[in-house]
């Protein structure tokens, strides 16, 4: 499925976020390969959420989080559960919004440009399986609008997770 982000980037924020959710759902219905699907979702998130320098996934391998499809600078390959913003969001099964990463104890710096971060676990049948991670070069970039959006994306992925194959 081909999607051109150029025109969509000019939409007002609320319409852009609604469109992003529709496109995420459509990608999840179009393809069952996990890497292919999450790769396109990374592109959609990076393209349609303003002021991100990193957007992607860390996937649970049964022991720790491993870097999945993403857009942005090369990132750390593995994050232990309970460590960093990603490992803490995964362990707590809660969204973590960090307004200033320099003040977050244990923050793992992958891109030194990152100043704020939003991480949402993907929870399937009560168990976390992955996280979505967004970084921004601006302090306090993320608002309640982005929390609602990232949770919506995580719920759509969770609903299709079992059907996605390696």
Site residues for ligand SME per CB under 6 A: 54, 75-76, 79, 84-87, 107-108, 110, 114, 117, 133, 135
Q: How far, in Å, CA of 130 to CA of 59, rounded?
A: 4
**Distance of closest approach, residue 4 Cβ to ligand SME, in angstroms:** 26
Q: Which CB atom, from 31 or from 64, has the smaller least distance to ligand SME?
A: 64
Q: Which of 44, 47, 72, 70 is nearest to 59 (CA)?
A: 70
Helices (H), the chain: 5-8, 13-30, 34-48, 84-92, 144-160
Q: Which CB atom, from 28 or from 131, has the smaller least distance to ligand SME?
A: 131
- Residues 67, 43: contact at Cβ < 8 Å? no
**Distance of closest approach, residue 23 Cβ to ligand SME, in angstroms:** 22
Q: Which CB atom, from 135 or from 146, has the smaller least distance to ligand SME?
A: 135
């Amino acid at each position: 499925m081909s999607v051109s982000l150029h025109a969509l980037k000019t939409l007002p924020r609320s319409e852009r976020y609604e469109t992003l959710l529709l496109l995420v759902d459509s990608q999840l219905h179009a393809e069952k390969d996990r890497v292919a699907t999450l790769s396109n979702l990374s592109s959609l998130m990076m393209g349609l959420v303003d002021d991100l320098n990193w957007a992607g996934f860390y996937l649970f391998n049964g022991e720790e989080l491993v870097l999945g499809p993403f857009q942005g600078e090369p990132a750390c390959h593995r994050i232990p559960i309970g460590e960093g913003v990603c490992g803490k969001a995964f362990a707590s099964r809660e969204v973590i919004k960090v307004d200033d990463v320099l003040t977050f104890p244990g923050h793992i710096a992958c891109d030194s440009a990152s100043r704020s971060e939003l991480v949402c676990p993907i929870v399937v049948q009560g168990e976390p399986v992955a996280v979505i991670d967004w970084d921004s070069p601006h302090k306090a970039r993320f608002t309640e609008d982005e929390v609602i959006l990232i949770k919506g994306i995580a719920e759509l992925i969770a609903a299709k997770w079992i059907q996605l194959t390696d």
